Structure 1
């Protein structure tokens, strides 16, 4: 019998009076075993993974990976049962692991012969505790029955996987004699509350629900007629939420089903993002659940931060001119005062404010880093002394605030000598600048969010 699972023994033609031999039953059992594995592995996608895994933590602290119990389905459909609690020892010395990080696999030879006994055989004989079996119909005396089980081993590195069916279990970062488990998540057949994958996904689900609930509470009673934009945002938030929630709360959901639900959520909230269209995600990798989910969850978080800037208050500057139309004659201002423009919800004690300039990135970067930003009574002194006022430093993001498409974001140091809440704020270009931003917007954190952003 070869390793090709489709190369099954032909059906036996049973008939009355047949002289039965052990080969008849061996062929029948071999065909049934392989057919079951083939149908299981081929009928449903990604039907392999860990069902239960128990590790000896005391041995692990000494650099030995010892499996107490493992229940898993291998990628070819084989049910793998092992561990010291089952009388099938599985140990691996982590100092012999290959690679950094080193991934440890549960392996079994691909050779599918049930009764071949070589170093490459898929099965091995063993003495079972219940080797003697009773005839449950007639009640006759017990008869010893030889048993076989899968030849399971723990392996590390690509070199040890040749000719093997492998299931990744755990990953370690190894530095000298120190072995530290990474955040790798092994393939599983179903989600369990409190598992690593559940804990990875739960915060995003919770954030979406909280933002949807908060947005719904702010909508007026007649929002369907008066606030179409708000209703549209709410729909984008909640359309895929129920499916994600029921899958996360179930202890029977397959990770792939949850992944598809989050992809659906990413498509819905994409309308909130600056891109408006979700990226092309990498294909689902059942052997690297964290890598697959991280990409989708990161986009959902980005879309929420771009489309729901509810931790900041934004106020656009108004463009003014000093008797001319040249860029050097133009400037921006927020009036009558910052305090009145932003209201009581703005936290002027926040260590940093944010400035967003719309225009070509390279031009706006130079413009923002050289601009004059200060209260109206300090601008004249700044122009005479050629000082800059409040320091503006370009950043990719500031907490959950990210630049809008075609815009550049700056972190503004909040210094009292330049920025005063009870005075008008003026933004002017350096004398050498030949182009003005299309739009300039100042952002100040809400009072309840200041400590979170520090």
Structure 2
């Protein structure tokens, strides 16, 4: 890669100096490396495939043959290839035919690395090949003149291991991946490094799938809860609004980037990560998973990881269940109970302090008085615990996927203890119980 020390100093042009080819070579090299250095600092992932066409008929028998190619290599070299105008750009991978192992064969585009100011030594392959250029007209009316041109010496190189790379004497970039399946070589779903995320490209389709799934979930929640239709605000609507906010806050930037189809993959990846951060509210502990380092040479792997996390979070937003928090007042957890909530199972989730064992949190709940406010004083004097509560399995028995650290309980709807329209109180009269007092209690309501 080009470093500042690799940029030649400016030539001291002066009147009467004797010119040599090296003067012009150094001038061109300085301009080229300055540009590469600036671009690399401003856009670290500045390489990728712009256009690629591989002959799939030849590929069946194991010959990877490029028909058309336009790309920028990691060292800033712009390459363009058209079959028929240059030497064939191909590599034979038939030796890797393995119907059992189905080896993944990565095809790299390689060019000899630049060697600075020195000429290629014995046994070293030159970076460029000299070709006779087409006649060029004098722009001021003179005769045409053929000028010798230097074209990058392009080759293909095959590797089979995930960590294998071409030799360091080459500048390389993976452009495709093939495997042997059903007695033929075929391309895999590998996506090479790119410079843009087009709408019809695999990365663009992945982003569009994420946007569609998030919007569908948000619209369902909005319709189910009546958010935005002018209905009075309810605790159920407020809970749904919070979920919708987590779902859609990161959507506008992502949709804008996907819509234009020219944004860099890393920018789109960052927007996906932002969306994943908002959706981590549905993760266990509300902490997002640590994602792997972005790999520009295999962007689909990075995009796929964050997409999978987003879709898992979306699936945790249960379409039939809303979460409504109890409030803590006067030493008690309480929630005003809507009559409709008492027609089905009444399930609450209890989250204890970070240091509290689940068994202690469950014991705290077992020792509580659970009853409506009008019944509470009477029950306290009778030493009755009120409505029966049963600990549930956190794997989904409660009808919800209880987050880690949350103990779900079913509270039996007993009219002796629970009155519709009154505040349901959960109170532990034991002062020693404050040590394991929950940090939150949530009601799970079926829509």
Shared fold, TM over 0.5: yes
SS in 2 for 1:107: strand
Matched, 1:198 2:241: no
Match of 1:122 among 120, 127, 137: 127
Equivalent pair of 2:69/2:80 in contact (CA under 8 Å): yes
Q: Which residue of 2 aligns with 1:418?
A: none
The CA distance in 2 between the partners of 1:29 and 1:297, in whole Å, is: 44
Match of 1:101 among 104, 112, 126: 104
Change (3 A) 1:288 1:160: closer
Change (3 A) 1:213 1:301: same
Match of 2:186 among 180, 185, 189: 180
Equivalent pair of 1:107/1:161 in contact (CA under 8 Å): no
Deviation for aligned residue 1:46: 0.6
The CA distance in 2 between the partners of 1:395 and 1:208, in whole Å, is: 26
Deviations 1:260-292 (A, max 9, x none): 101110111111233311112112111111211
Extract unaligned runs of 5+ from structure 1: 316-339, 343-355, 362-393, 410-438, 447-454
Q: Map of 1:11-410 to 2, 5 A cutoff? A: 11-84=10-83, 86-96=85-95, 100-113=103-116, 116=119, 119-128=124-133, 130=134, 132-137=135-140, 139-157=141-159, 158=164, 160-174=166-180, 178-217=184-223, 218-219=226-227, 221-222=230-231, 227-306=237-316, 308-310=317-319, 312=320, 341=344, 402=401, 404-406=403-405
Deviations 1:376-431 (A, max 9, x none): xxxxxxxxxxxxxxxxxx99789x9755435799xxxxxxxxxxxxxxxxxxxxxx
Q: CA RMSD in A?
A: 3.7
Deviation for aligned residue 1:159: 6.2
The CA distance in 1 between the partners of 2:42 and 2:85, in whole Å, is: 29
The CA distance in 2 between the partners of 1:149 and 1:162, in whole Å, is: 21
Q: Which residue of 2 aligns with 1:425?
A: none
Change (3 A) 1:16 1:271: same
The CA distance in 2 between the partners of 1:122 and 1:188, in whole Å, is: 23
Equivalent pair of 1:48/1:75 in contact (CA under 8 Å): yes
Change (3 A) 1:224 1:15: farther
SS in 1 for 2:6: coil
Extract unaligned runs of 5+ from structure 2: 324-342, 352-356, 360-392, 409-440
Deviations 1:87-109 (A, max 9, x none): 24211112245993111111111
Deviation for aligned residue 1:314: 9.6
SS in 1 for 2:91: strand
Deviations 1:61-95 (A, max 9, x none): 23211111111111111112124155242111122
Aligned pair count reads 340
The CA distance in 2 between the partners of 1:395 and 1:185, in whole Å, is: 40
Deviation for aligned residue 1:296: 1.1
Q: Which residue of 2 aligns with 1:349?
A: none
SS in 1 for 2:198: coil
The CA distance in 1 between the partners of 2:245 and 2:350, in whole Å, is: 30
Change (3 A) 1:112 1:222: farther
Change (3 A) 1:309 1:16: same
Deviation for aligned residue 1:127: 2.8
Q: Which residue of 2 aligns with 1:385?
A: none
The CA distance in 1 between the partners of 2:119 and 2:198, in whole Å, is: 38
Deviates more, 1:119-128 or 1:274-283: 119-128
TM-score, with length taken from structure 2: 0.67
Change (3 A) 1:442 1:209: closer
Equivalent pair of 1:223/1:230 in contact (CA under 8 Å): no
SS in 1 for 2:166: helix
